[in-house]
Amino acid sequence: MTEPLPSIAQALTQGYQQLTMSDSAKLDARVLLSFALGQSLTYLLTWPQRRLNAEQFDCYAQLLARRVQGEPVAYLVGEREFWSLPFKVSASTLIPRPDTEVLVEHALTHLSDNASLLDLGTGTGAIAIAIAHERPSVNVSAVDIREDALQLAKHNAELNQVNVNFRLSSWFNELAGEKFDVIVSNPPYIDAEDPHLQQGDVRFEPSSALIAEQHGLADIIEIIKNAPQYLHAQGWLLIEHGYQQGDALARLLHEAGFSQIATHCDYGGQPRVTQGQYRSHDHD
């Protein structure tokens, strides 16, 4: 006689027990089971005794097996929340992280009504879309070098019902003659030798969105060097970076003519976002 398939409560317990490698095993199991069932997290709590059917059980088992191998939950279910908004994700983009919300928070403090903002290397569109959602009057533009990332970002803008002007560009290359009040970026900033690249979710994320030459500073250097010609007078540049890079960014911003330089910590207390205001000596 074949064993009956597990109830929702039993399936969750089995999931926790398998996901010993995850520091969020209970949440992972809940998210994967709700995805396999096509139901909300609330449904799992409401109907703990409901039994899975064979198709649901097989789907859940496969998801657990992939998660055990380290594959990120966001890639498994194709979605991640950021700034309390839903974002579709794919293996061609970085997974939006809570710490990047610090970049959004500080960018918003520099945006008046009808201001213009540029997001460099937008990926899923998370930063640009969060800002457009918060400030509908701001003219938000976003660029990425990858067409597949832009298509995903456009889909996310539609999903969240905001207007963002997405364009294909390697940093500023296709933006000649344009100026913005605020420029933001979460560029690649990890050193190729960093041991963290062999750990956790980043093993599955696109290396082109993570790794930069010159000990992780190459793209940051290019952005800071070129940003002044794309900023209005007194415009702001805000860049997310590694926790050990704050001093280097502050120095680079100072050398490039920025003032009001400050570094802000993420929710774990690590230096994560550095900003500066451009001291333009000429008029727009």
Q: What are the tens digits of pLDDT across the range 30-54?
A: 999 999 999 998 999 999 999 999 9
Pick from 143, 93, 99, 136: nearest CA to 118? 143
Q: What contacts 104, CB < 8 A, 6 or more positions away?
A: 83, 127, 130, 131, 134
Phi, psi for 185 (deg, rounded to 5)? -160, 140
Which pLDDT score is estimated for 283?
A: 44
- With a cut of 50, say whether residue 182 has pLDDT above it: yes
Which of 41-50, 129-138, 201-210, 264-273 is predicted with the least confidence, judged by mean pLDDT?
201-210
Share of the chain above pLDDT 70, in %: 96
Cβ contact 148:89 at 8 Å: no
Cβ contact 182:118 at 8 Å: yes
- Return binding residues: 121-125, 144, 171, 186-189
pTM of this structure: 0.87
Q: What contacts 48, CB < 8 A, 6 or more positions away?
A: 7, 8, 9
Which of 22-26, 122-126, 162-166, 201-205 is predicted with the least confidence, judged by mean pLDDT?
201-205
Which pLDDT score is estimated for 94?
A: 85
Q: What is the pLDDT of residues 2-20, one digit of tens each?
A: 678 999 999 999 999 999 8
Which pLDDT score is estimated for 66?
A: 93
Which pLDDT score is estimated for 281?
A: 57
Helices (H), the chain: 8-18, 25-37, 41-46, 54-68, 73-77, 101-108, 126-134, 147-159, 213-216, 218-226, 246-255
284: confidence class by pLDDT, cuts 50, 70, 90 = very low
- Return binding residues for substrate: 186-189
Characterize the bridge pairing of strands 79-82 and 85-88. Answer: antiparallel
- With a cut of 60, say whether residue 282 has pLDDT above it: no
What is the CB neighbour count within 10 angstroms for residue 194? 16
Phi, psi for 89 (deg, rounded to 5)? -130, 160
- With a cut of 90, say whether residue 216 has pLDDT above it: no
> What is the crossing angle of helices 54-68 and 25-37, to 10°?
140
139: confidence class by pLDDT, cuts 50, 70, 90 = very high
Which pLDDT score is estimated for 2?
A: 67
- Return binding residues for S-adenosyl-L-methionine: 121-125, 144, 171, 186
Q: What is the pLDDT of residues 221-271, one digit of tens each?
A: 999 999 999 999 999 999 999 888 999 999 999 999 999 999 999 999 999
What is the CB neighbour count within 10 angstroms for residue 165? 14
